[in-house]
Amino acid sequence: MTTNDYVLALDQGTTSSRAIVFDRGGAVRGIGQREFHQYYPQPGWVEHDPMDIWHSQLEVAREALRNAGIYAADLAAIGITNQRETTLLWERATGRPLARAIVWQDRRTAALCEQLRADGHADWLQQRTGLVLDAYFSGTKLAWLLEHTPGAREAAERGELAFGTVDTWLVWQLTGGAVHSTDPSNASRTLMYDLHTQDWNDDILALLNIPRSVLPGIAPSSAVVGHSIADCLGGPVPIAGVAGDQQAATFGQACFTPGMAKNTYGTGCFMLMNVGNAPVPSHNQLLATMGWTLPGAGATYMLEGGVFMAGAAVQWLRDGLGIIQRSADVEALAASVADTDDVFLVPAFAGLGAPYWDPYARGTLVGMTRGTTRAHIARATLESIALQSAELLACMNADSGIALSQLRVDGGAARNDLLMQMQADLLGVPVVRPRVAESTARGAAGLAGLAVGFWSELDEFASQWEVEQVFEPQWPEAQRQARLARWQQAVALSRGWNRPQP
């Protein structure tokens, strides 16, 4: 067992970088957080500066240590969790990024996905990767970078370039370029990873024209992959846990038994269900994905459904419409009316995810009258998050054959009591919020801590998960079904709006 008393979790998200120090009891001892710039060079394009990602993450890691009053020498390990699918490409020799990172929300490869689908590759890809053919995933983003960045194709063929999702980029930076690796949870989001062989698929690489030499190695989610260089935090620290943000949140919520599920309410909204040690194919347009791999315990697989716009829809109320000053203001405004007065917002600002997978859907606000107020629109925005999540759960129940008994929740918007009650009413099952809301960072810390003996076993880590509040459903079944049917009418109006005209 390690004698160091803390684990540092690096939580690199879509709009901000965070770092959290946890002690042996699972309590938070120090936090750092910083937003960074978003680039929107064309409609449907979303980019990040890779150096912004790295510098903001390093700064908040140092800030979290300062706030906890500790040093690198007090850390047993570093765990990393990250925005998934965001795609980076850099020079191995210098670490210089060749271009801005293409963010998971970016839709520039929708046409390439359409062509691959027209050529008959969609089912074949889904059988191997568990993923729906969509611009969301990293493979087509990497193919785009190699095709459109001057000199990239030739440099890649010479073995001079490194691809990575954000976890890989952070490990590379933390180790001074010594380690180029990812974990199965992130690899399984690239459209290049075979769920069955648990390795990169050469047939897919050939289809996308991607040289295998650019890809990172794949290490277990809970394992020491390297050590941070002293320049980063003041001393070397084992990097011992890596998982994509949604899988890390599922781990942090202690969803270790098949049938357990969690929903994270962040920029997007992501629901994952543990389905055990073998992938379960989806017949309802969900994703089969890797959860994590633990030494000696093998792989845990998930079913996942993603809502692209959750907290981002509330940000739109704040920044786009200006009807609230702070995101936190939405709850009081929405609660000032009893219902939406039949107003629905479909927040398809970047298309629709599961179960529709429509990149051409666009945001739609319907049902308004002269009596509609900003409060009705605020309430419809919150309800849209709960409605989208309810659709996902119905698909999961059908695919897994398991009727969920409760939903564990986390993420910033999970602190919104009104939204959580809406969610319970629309699901028809209790919604459970834990005492420690930092589930994503907690999961990264757990994976890292287990790898170095900071926590001795899974049960010890799971025992630290505690309930803060349970939201019980209050609606009768008929009301729930009627609301969902009305929502689907609104969704139908948003579908295909931006499809190119012949």
Q: Which residues are annotated as a binding site for glycerol?
A: 84-85, 136, 245-246
Cα(21)–Cα(65) distance, integer angstroms: 7
Cα(139)–Cα(85) distance, integer angstroms: 9
CA distances from 414 to 82, 258, 375 (A): 19, 23, 20
Query: Coil, helix or strand for 313?
Result: helix
Cα(383)–Cα(346) distance, integer angstroms: 10
Q: Report the DSSP beta bridge partners of residue 214.
A: none
Phi, psi of 130 (to 5 degrees): 80, 0
Q: Report the DSSP beta bridge partners of residue 437.
A: none
Please choose, from the candidates 245, 263, 265, the residue with its C-alpha nearest in 3D space to the C-alpha of residue 255.
Answer: 263
Triad 63, 64, 66: Cα angle to 5° = 65
Binding site as annotated, residues for ADP: 14, 18, 267, 311, 412, 416
Query: Coil, helix or strand for 82?
Result: strand
Binding site as annotated, residues for sn-glycerol 3-phosphate: 14, 84-85, 136, 245
Answer for the pair 327, 318: CB distance below 8 angstroms, yes or no.
yes
Residue tagged 């390439």 (tokens): 112
Neighbours of 240 (CB within 10 A): 30
Answer for the pair 184, 293: CB distance below 8 angstroms, yes or no.
yes
Cα(479)–Cα(485) distance, integer angstroms: 10
Binding site as annotated, residues for ATP: 14-16, 267, 311, 315, 412
Q: What is the dihedral of CA 351, 357, 360, 365, to 10 degrees?
A: -50
N-terminal to C-terminal alpha carbon distance within the chain: 65
Phi, psi of 330 (to 5 degrees): -65, -30
Residue tagged 């801005």 (tokens): 100
Residue tagged 């969902």 (tokens): 484
Cα(34)–Cα(56) distance, integer angstroms: 6
Binding site as annotated, residues: 14-16, 18, 84-85, 136, 245-246, 267, 311, 315, 412, 416
Cα 272 from chain centre: 10
Output the six-digit token pair for 157.
């063929």
Please choose, from the candidates 166, 187, 399, 386, the residue with its C-alpha nearest in 3D space to the C-alpha of residue 274.
Answer: 399
